[in-house]
Structure 1
Amino acid sequence: MTYRIFVLRKERGTASLWFSKPKNLAISCVLGFGAAFAQADTLTLHQAIDIAIQQDPWLQSSVDQEQSMRARSQSAQALPDPKLSIGMANLPVDSFDINQEAMTQVVVGLSQQFPAGSTLSLSGSQFNVKADQSAFARLNRKAQIRQMISDVWADMYRYDATLKVLKINEGLLLNLNESIAGNYSSAYNKVGQQALVNSELEIAKIGERSFQVQQALNQTKARLTQYLPQMASIKHYEFVELDQSGGAFDDSDYDLNLLTNHPMVRILDLQHQVSDFDRKIAQQQYKPQWGVNVSYSYRAEDANGRERADLASVGVSVSLPIFSSQRLDANVKAASSNSSAILYDRELKLNELKSQVLSVQADLALLGQRIALYTNTLIPGFQKSTDVALNAYRSNESGYRDVIMAQIAQMNAQIELIQLQSEQAKRRAEFEYLTTQSAEGARQ
């Protein structure tokens, strides 16, 4: 597929065609625009993804949340602090003399409570599972960033490539316009005047179309600043990675069972574990809560100066969950119901992912066929149609309108191919996100 830059001339009553074939011009315009921009201040897709991941504040927030959960896990497994008590017992109020009565004593006590059952260890494990959720959430966030950046990149490629195609075709029509203006005078015939007006009108329409595409490109670049705040300093963008992805992507044999390792599914698995810990912790409340207390009582000498024996006390307390059974039953039932609900959410998410994968696979299959049709049949056919129209015009067998319509049809086909390539890149990015695996690197 090549462009023919042509100049039409009327000499001695016949039209001659002068054209050159720039090497790989169409390929560089439609399939390889990025090669011209490999220089300083150039941003590639992989660089954009790496920078966006490195600078994403959500990821750092997630790291902090995980560290918080790890710390809370250690805290949750610690016993409650013992309680120290100091008091005076049996002090006579008539004299406030600690030596008067044998029962008067200064008491120092220490008590310790032990939560019911395995509450502490279960609570610590639950916080560790919540911390693991943060790790899988980061893995999912990175995959989302890759998809979102790739989507924006595909749109930028589409608009950038479309602008270049429009610019080249505008130049071709300008050459035609100059040829018509040079070969026909306003008094030659009305057909010549109409051809000149049509040529100028088509050039203006391409210019307006270029403004619209440029506006869309600017808006797309602005979307990228959400992930790359330093976008203002970027002058060029490399699209080779997008273009060279064609033909090397095979999704036909993907095993849908692997979706159970998707980060979103793994997060729901961990949510179920967290909920199951809630159920187990609620069940621990049926068990008694124990407490131990020890005290030492000091007694002063009696009135005659004789020492009195000090006293020591040891006690054990235990809770009896007799009147709280209804409350405990309700807590266990609530935790069990929540755990079951998460399993249904997991099943729904898995079905959703499977549906999306199948949809993307179907889209990729058809997009590949359409791209092949445009590349192998339609665009060469439009090129041939343009050549036939030029030859017919040169032989005075057709009018200028046939030439310009053929050239515009070829331009539209090239733009449609670019749109299909952009859509294909988006679908591939979506497929890569949907098939993200968390079996490795979940704690990155």
Structure 2
Amino acid sequence: MPYWLAAPLWAGWIAGATAAPLGFDDALTRALHETPALAASASRIAAARQNAIPAGALPDPQLTLGLANVPVDGADRFSLDSDPMTMRIIGVMQAFPNAAKRGARASAARGRVGLAEAGMQVVRQTVLQQTAQAWIQRHSAEAQLRHIAALYDENRLFDAAVRARLAGGGGMASDVVLPREEAALIAEREDLLNARRAQAIAALRRWIGDAADWPLAGAPPKWPIDHARLAHRLEQHPELALYSQESRVLDAEIDAARAATRPDWSLGLVYQQRASQFGNMASIELGFDLPVFASTRQRPLIAARVAERAALDADYQAQLRAHTAELDADLAEYRRLDRALARQHEVLLPLAQEKVSLTLAAWRGGQGNLAELIAARRARIDAQLKAIELAGARDEMAARLHFTYAQPDDSGVQP
């Protein structure tokens, strides 16, 4: 292979030759530790947990200060010591929301913690799935590029054979062009695969940073893809699990809205200081809310929360159907790719190789023409690259199915 053709393929690999190899599980583990999206989710969980601490607590007490019965006219106006009724007041007031309201607020806060945790699982699933698919895309592209490198060597030998035959008086002068045309087509395929490899590295860099440029090691795992097993876990999909936590929050908000129809109460203690010649006094106060306009205040809020809950239930059913359809479609595509890959290896590749062997034997025996041989070789190249492409596409679909529908702790990767 000419250096100017080989350089785009190997330059990136040589640059990363001193880096540690990047295995499949290594990429997933690194993504879970380095992705900013997961750090953001962890901060949201921490915030929700902090918000849950005071959710069910009583409100802060109020300190009251004031003056009472201060004369505003006459000889003693604005005097604080002349009138026995004038008092300096200091007091404390504590509100006591009803227990149902406080319990509902605490329950809603705990639900928001669960919602933040469920949101983190959605992010985690996305990170694992897209990292896995990007790694497999790069692995597939590099496998095809290695095959391209071998094709260059084979093409060079083929070109030498054509020239030798022409030198011996066989074939036509135009035959010398055909191997070079084949080399150009191989170079075109190489450019396409180099672009796919660069795109896969870019996608991988989003999740693991500069480690995306490291050389790959190993192969993607083989996950068991079973319809019944995946369908059984469908309702545990992270996006569907969000609805369970959202419903918990809405149920608590419904309880809080209903609790608002019950009166809250407050207790106040007041110390009243009078002039030194008069005795001081103390008071106690009780206050009660009067939710007497529930039909225009509390009940509309209850109805609104109940309607939101019904909408959430309908959204859940819609999402469940969407994910069920998506799972069935992905499984159908996985089965198609699996059958196509088996057909490629068992039928099409052997036939392509057999056709090359037959046309090559005919050409060497002087009974075939070079164009037929070139066409057969091109078909074999297509079949070989197609087999690698199908294997990569099947592994990508397997990763999508596994990381979308498997349990978070069934992924084989620990955060």
Please give the TM-score of this superposition, normalised by the length of structure 1: 0.83
- Superposed, 1:20-419 pairs within 5 Å as 41-93=20-72, 94-95=75-76, 96-185=78-167, 188=169, 191-231=171-211, 234=214, 236-238=215-217, 240-242=218-220, 245=222, 249-254=224-229, 256-302=231-277, 308-419=278-389
Q: Which has the higher helix share?
A: 2
Q: Against the structure 1 CA distance between its residues 219 and 99, is the aligned structure 2 distance closer, same or farther, given a 3 Å change threshold?
A: closer
Question: By how many angstroms is 1:301 displaced?
Answer: 4.4
Question: For the residues of structure 1 that align with 2:101 and 2:187, how far apart are their CA atoms?
Answer: 72
Question: For the residues of structure 2 that align with 1:439 and 1:276, how far apart are their CA atoms?
Answer: 29
Question: By how many angstroms is 1:293 displaced?
Answer: 1.3
Question: For the residues of structure 1 that align with 2:402 and 2:354, how far apart are their CA atoms?
Answer: 38
Where 1:325 maps in the other structure, the secondary structure is: coil
Question: For the residues of structure 2 that align with 1:267 and 1:398, how far apart are their CA atoms?
Answer: 67
Could you tell me whether the CA contact under 8 Å between 1:165 and 1:411 is conserved in 2?
Answer: no
Where 2:30 maps in the other structure, the secondary structure is: helix
Per-residue CA deviations over 1:54-82 (Å, capped at 9, x if unaligned) read 00111111111111111111122221221
1:432 equivalent in alignment to 2:402? yes
Which amino acid is the alignment partner of residue 290 of structure 1? W
Where 1:237 maps in the other structure, the secondary structure is: coil
Question: For the residues of structure 1 that align with 2:283 and 2:247, how far apart are their CA atoms?
Answer: 47
Question: For the residues of structure 2 that align with 1:351 and 1:360, how far apart are their CA atoms?
Answer: 14
Question: For the residues of structure 2 that align with 1:91 and 1:120, how far apart are their CA atoms?
Answer: 40
Question: For the residues of structure 1 that align with 2:363 and 2:357, how far apart are their CA atoms?
Answer: 10
Q: Against the structure 1 CA distance between its residues 39 and 229, is the aligned structure 2 distance closer, same or farther, given a 3 Å change threshold?
A: closer
Could you tell me whether the CA contact under 8 Å between 2:22 and 2:211 is conserved in 1?
Answer: no
Where 1:309 maps in the other structure, the secondary structure is: coil
Could you tell me whether the CA contact under 8 Å between 1:357 and 1:434 is conserved in 2?
Answer: no
Q: Against the structure 1 CA distance between its residues 378 and 102, is the aligned structure 2 distance closer, same or farther, given a 3 Å change threshold?
A: same
Could you tell me whether the CA contact under 8 Å between 1:109 and 1:296 is conserved in 2?
Answer: yes
Question: By how many angstroms is 1:40 displaced?
Answer: 5.1
Which amino acid is the alignment partner of residue 373 of structure 1? R
Of 210-219 and 264-273, deviating more is 210-219
Which amino acid is the alignment partner of residue 264 of structure 2? Q
Where 2:85 maps in the other structure, the secondary structure is: coil
Which amino acid is the alignment partner of residue 80 of structure 1? P
Per-residue CA deviations over 1:256-284 (Å, capped at 9, x if unaligned) read 24222222111111101111111111111
Question: By how many angstroms is 1:341 displaced?
Answer: 0.7
Question: For the residues of structure 1 that align with 2:86 and 2:321, how far apart are their CA atoms?
Answer: 75
Of 323-332 and 193-202, deviating more is 323-332
Q: Against the structure 1 CA distance between its residues 387 and 328, is the aligned structure 2 distance closer, same or farther, given a 3 Å change threshold?
A: same
RMSD: 2.5
Could you tell me whether the CA contact under 8 Å between 2:204 and 2:212 is conserved in 1?
Answer: no
Of 93-102 and 330-339, deviating more is 93-102
Question: By how many angstroms is 1:102 displaced?
Answer: 2.5
Which amino acid is the alignment partner of residue 206 of structure 1? I
Q: Against the structure 1 CA distance between its residues 249 and 38, is the aligned structure 2 distance closer, same or farther, given a 3 Å change threshold?
A: farther
Overall identity of the aligned pairs, in %: 21
User: What residue ranges of structure 1 are gaps of 5+ in the alignment?
Assistant: 1-33, 303-307
Question: By how many angstroms is 1:292 displaced?
Answer: 1.1
Question: For the residues of structure 2 that align with 1:395 and 1:264, how far apart are their CA atoms?
Answer: 65
Which amino acid is the alignment partner of residue 124 of structure 2? K
Could you tell me whether the CA contact under 8 Å between 2:270 and 2:284 is conserved in 1?
Answer: yes
Where 2:82 maps in the other structure, the secondary structure is: coil
Where 1:163 maps in the other structure, the secondary structure is: helix
Which amino acid is the alignment partner of residue 72 of structure 1? N
Question: For the residues of structure 2 that align with 1:313 and 1:204, how far apart are their CA atoms?
Answer: 100
Question: For the residues of structure 2 that align with 1:92 and 1:126, how far apart are their CA atoms?
Answer: 51
Question: By how many angstroms is 1:41 displaced?
Answer: 2.4
Question: For the residues of structure 2 that align with 1:439 and 1:216, how far apart are their CA atoms?
Answer: 31
Per-residue CA deviations over 1:382-436 (Å, capped at 9, x if unaligned) read 1122111222222222122222222221111011111111110111011112313
Where 2:367 maps in the other structure, the secondary structure is: coil
Question: For the residues of structure 2 that align with 1:124 and 1:144, how far apart are their CA atoms?
Answer: 31
Instruction: Give the number of aligned pairs.
Output: 396
Where 1:178 maps in the other structure, the secondary structure is: helix
| Larger gyration radius, structure 1 or structure 2 | 1
